[in-house]
Amino acid sequence: MAPRARTALDEMSKDGEFKRREAAWRSWISREDGAMFPPENERYHLFVAYACPWAHRTLMTRALKGLEDVISVTVVHPTWRKTKPEDPADEHAGWVFGEPGGKPFANTLGVGGPFPAAYANNEAEPFFRSYSLRDVYERAGDTDGKYTVPVLWDKAADTIVSNESSEIIRMLNSEFNGFAKYPDLDLYPDGSIDDIEAANKWIYPNINNGVYRCGFATSQPAYDRAIVDLTKAFDQVDAILQKQRFIAGDKLTLADVRLFVTLVRFDEVYVVYFKTNTRSVAKTPSILNYLREIYQMPGVAETVNMDQIKTHYYTSHPTLNHWSIIPKGADFVKLLNEPHDRDGLCK
């Protein structure tokens, strides 16, 4: 029996609090002898969305390590659509692939837009000509029913290796050094793992997932709890970054990758859409300059597509934004291109 298709919007507690479920596909690429998924040049493929912060982690790590020629990528369309449009009884909406030259469309309620069938770099699925990411999951025999990005796909075995971003970025950091342009860059060094994981432990629930706890809350008490947690954690980030260059020490690590992808979306999306308006990155100098430094590192800016980020959030959830109106914003990316002041802190 096929699993019931669902999205993050279905993961709610009885008191209206968002409760994200863990990823289901958790295999590893490993250099160990006999590994089921050994690192190989051009064997693996990432299905991602520019819009999704979890997928953005993998694009950033791939760029920082110089793996663009080693691991190929397909970027899905930012606006969710019905994933089984031929079945009127199937209401699931999620990630679909771009259709260059296709017809514009409205949101899943039939209003808003029209949205182009493909934005920049939204290409057709290259292996099976799948319509939706759900089709890719089903080809791999998925039994979980949540069709998320990123997906690390094995082209040789025709299956999913992993859809857990926190583990994919660790694989990209360590397992492909034989092919990477920057093998000496270690974003998860042995001597810093405790500090990295200590940072992740409070940043994930209160900031990375905290913005979703605010935005997807369906009761006032659930929102009130989430916004208090988020605000305290935001202030903690501010205090740390006033004293040290990166969140887990004096060098860039995967903890910064995980934090960056949420904070870069904060003012343009979360403050408005998810009601996280107790704080602003643009008005917090330590955090703004921290983002500027990372954004200006080689390869990172190319992974930030604010147009598709905003398009996804504001057009994919009609229950939150019926007409799919996309706010203009204050051009946060322009701020990121200005000089940073982080050189004064210890390297």
Supply the residues annotated as catalytic.
Answer: 52, 212
Question: Angle at CA 170, nearest 5°, toward 165 and 174?
Answer: 150
User: Is 55:305 a contact under the CB 8 Å cutoff?
Assistant: no
Residue 280 CA from chain centroid, whole number: 20
User: Is 168:58 a contact under the CB 8 Å cutoff?
Assistant: yes
Number of other CB atoms surrounding residue 161 within 10 Å: 24
Cα–Cα distance between 100 and 106 in angstroms, integer? 16
Number of other CB atoms surrounding residue 125 within 10 Å: 18
The label of the residue with tokens 């900031």 reads: 207
The DSSP code for 281 is S
Cα–Cα distance between 164 and 57 in angstroms, integer? 11
Amino acid, res. 38: P
Cα–Cα distance between 347 and 334 in angstroms, integer? 25
The label of the residue with tokens 């000496």 reads: 184
Between the alpha carbon of residue 259 and those of residues 202, 238, 264, 266, 330, the distances in Å are 11, 12, 9, 11, 21
User: Is 61:260 a contact under the CB 8 Å cutoff?
Assistant: no
First to last CA, the chain: 55
From 190, 195, 163, 178, select the one nearest 21 (Cα to Cα): 163
From 99, 106, 90, select the one nearest 145 (Cα to Cα): 90
Cα–Cα distance between 25 and 32 in angstroms, integer? 20
